[in-house]
Amino acid sequence: MSKKTIRFGVIGCGLMGKEFASAVARWCHLTNVNFEPRIVAVCDANQSAINWFTTSVPSVKRSYTNYKDLLADEEVDAVYCAVPHNLHERIYSDIINAGKHLLGEKPFGIDKAANDAIMEAINANPGVVVRSSSEFPFFPGAFQISKWVEEGRFGDIIEVEAGFWHSSDLNPNKPINWKRIVASNGEYGCMGDLGLHVLHLPLRFGWKPNSVRALLSKVVDKRPDGKGGFASCETWDNGILACDVKSQGRQFPMMLSMKRIAPGHANTWFIRVTGTKMSMEYSTKQPKQIAYLNYEPGGSQAWHVEDVAYVSAYPTITGGIFEFGFSDSILQMWAAFCDEIVNGDQMLQSFRCATPEEAADSHRLFTAALESQAEGETIKLNWEG
């Protein structure tokens, strides 16, 4: 299949910027796609972050320390942007207004006002494809769940539980970084950092909370500042959101959790759905396994645990028995973004990256959750209008 090349610029050459570049380097992993990204330009405010790209990614022709210079580069068609949350509003809006397609990192703005401004830029530029990064739904087990929900296999939903748990912040000696500071990470704290990952599938399935009661907690209040002293950790470490969802005329509880401090969990993303006809659970903790229970009235209730095949959105050279991992999910997500740029409504498969509307919905929920925490009350959400 002939491939259309999309010329990418990367803004923000840190942890995630590098992860994306390595996904491009193994594009030959994908079979039967008619698009191919090429990273031609990179930008970081910090020159030393750029150096890895200029030495490791041969397609990079130009590097900049001011993102506006990258946006003026006529050979850049699309941008992947991975910068701290306080910069999303300005940089994302400028990328979109420059007419470049954008795959931006979550949470798509440090707060709801910033997200509203990004949505304004999106509405003013309808020809630009804008999507948010959220890779976990591309794990084969998660991908399988999306198919089962689409096929209506669960019957009436009884309960949903979804979460994303980290644990490296349990170590009080871990130095402070921008993710623990309100000015750069935002008041949402762990919700802004981890929340869209948790909400992507529920929102895709149409499970919008009618109300939320949030329990947010701070566990470690000081960290080494890297200069011999200590700095305050200002952001929420952990959040549990008890939501009430109404979908297809029925109501059910949905428990969402985002934790920076969940002992023993390095990067655990999970979802559990129980229903009157089927129940299932998937966690990246056991990335190959999916558990499910099919039920007929009066029949037995037996959980099945199965090694799920290496099957995600796009076919690959990898044999079905092999294990899928984080970097595979990034590759699949980036393929979905390129697919949408090149094939529009005729995408090679139908699972899209997280949309700006889904990111905007997550902001409404997190803003209500902050109010719930402050008031100690359940906050209602109205999704009409």
Ligand X SMILES: NC(=O)c1ccc[n+]([C@@H]2O[C@H](COP(=O)([O-])OP(=O)(O)OC[C@H]3O[C@@H](n4cnc5c(N)ncnc54)[C@H](O)[C@@H]3O)[C@@H](O)[C@H]2O)c1
* Smallest distance, ligand X to C-beta of residue 239, A: 15
Q: Which stretch binds ligand X (CB under 6 A): 11-19, 223-231, 232-240, 370-378?
A: 11-19
* Smallest distance, ligand X to C-beta of residue 49, A: 4
Q: Which stretch binds ligand X (CB under 6 A): 39-47, 213-221, 280-288, 293-301?
A: 39-47
Contacts of 193 (CB under 8 A, 6+ apart): 107, 179, 185, 235, 258, 260
Q: Is 95 in the site for ligand X (CB under 6 A)?
A: no
Q: Which stretch binds ligand X (CB under 6 A): 12-20, 25-33, 247-255, 301-309?
A: 12-20
Site residues (CB under 6 A) for ligand X, limited to 286-325 = none
Per the structure block, which two tokens stand in for 65?
Answer: 């320390």
* Residue (6 or 330) nearer to ligand X, CB: 330
Are 192 and 85 spatial neighbours (Cβ–Cβ below 8 Å)? yes
Which residue shows structure tokens 């699949």? 332
* Residues paired with residue 330 on neighbouring β-strands, in sequence order: none
Strands 78-81 and 268-275: unpaired
* Residue (12 or 275) nearer to ligand X, CB: 12
Burial 131-151 (b: 16+ CB within 10 A, else e): bbbbbbbbbbbbbbbbebbee
Q: Is 67 in the site for ligand X (CB under 6 A)?
A: yes
Indicate which single residue of 43, 78, 149, 273 sits in contact with ligand X (rule: CB under 6 A): 43
* Residue (230 or 326) nearer to ligand X, CB: 326
Site residues (CB under 6 A) for ligand X, limited to 99-138 = 105-106, 133, 135
Would you call 304 exposed, middle or buried from its count of C-beta atoms within 10 A (0-12, 13-18, 19+)? exposed
Apex 128 CA angle, 111 and 63, nearest 5: 80
Indicate which single residue of 40, 83, 191, 368 sits in contact with ligand X (rule: CB under 6 A): 83
Q: Is 11 in the site for ligand X (CB under 6 A)?
A: yes
Could you give the CA distance from residue 237 to residue 190 in angstroms, rounded to a whole number?
6
Alpha-carbon distances of 59 from 54, 113, 176, 288, 300, rounded to whole Å = 9, 37, 34, 34, 57
Of all residues in the shown chain, the one whose CB is closest to ligand X is 14
Q: Is 87 in the site for ligand X (CB under 6 A)?
A: yes
* Residues paired with residue 132 on neighbouring β-strands, in sequence order: 104, 354
* Smallest distance, ligand X to C-beta of residue 180, A: 12
* Smallest distance, ligand X to C-beta of residue 338, A: 17
Indicate which single residue of 10, 82, 199, 216 sits in contact with ligand X (rule: CB under 6 A): 82
Site residues (CB under 6 A) for ligand X, limited to 44-63 = 44-46, 49
Contacts of 12 (CB under 8 A, 6+ apart): 43, 44, 81, 82, 83, 105
* Residue (44 or 281) nearer to ligand X, CB: 44
Contacts of 149 (CB under 8 A, 6+ apart): 205, 273
Are 109 and 119 spatial neighbours (Cβ–Cβ below 8 Å)? no
* Smallest distance, ligand X to C-beta of residue 303, A: 29
* Smallest distance, ligand X to C-beta of residue 275, A: 29
Q: Is 216 in the site for ligand X (CB under 6 A)?
A: no
Q: Is the dihedral of CA 256, 262, 264, 268 positive or negative?
A: positive
Q: Is 268 in the site for ligand X (CB under 6 A)?
A: no
The number of helices, as runs of H, and strands, as runs of E, in the chain is: 10, 17
Q: Which stretch binds ligand X (CB under 6 A): 77-85, 155-163, 221-229, 268-276?
A: 77-85
* Smallest distance, ligand X to C-beta of residue 213, A: 25
Phi, psi dihedral angles at 233 (to 5 degrees): -90, 120
Q: Is 85 in the site for ligand X (CB under 6 A)?
A: yes
Phi, psi dihedral angles at 38 (to 5 degrees): -135, 125
* Residue (118 or 245) nearer to ligand X, CB: 118
Are 236 and 181 spatial neighbours (Cβ–Cβ below 8 Å)? no
* Residue (21 or 83) nearer to ligand X, CB: 83
Q: Which stretch binds ligand X (CB under 6 A): 38-46, 52-60, 110-118, 346-354?
A: 38-46
Q: Is 182 in the site for ligand X (CB under 6 A)?
A: no
User: Contact residues for ligand X (CB under 6 A)?
Assistant: 11-16, 43-46, 49, 67, 82-85, 87, 105-106, 133, 135, 193
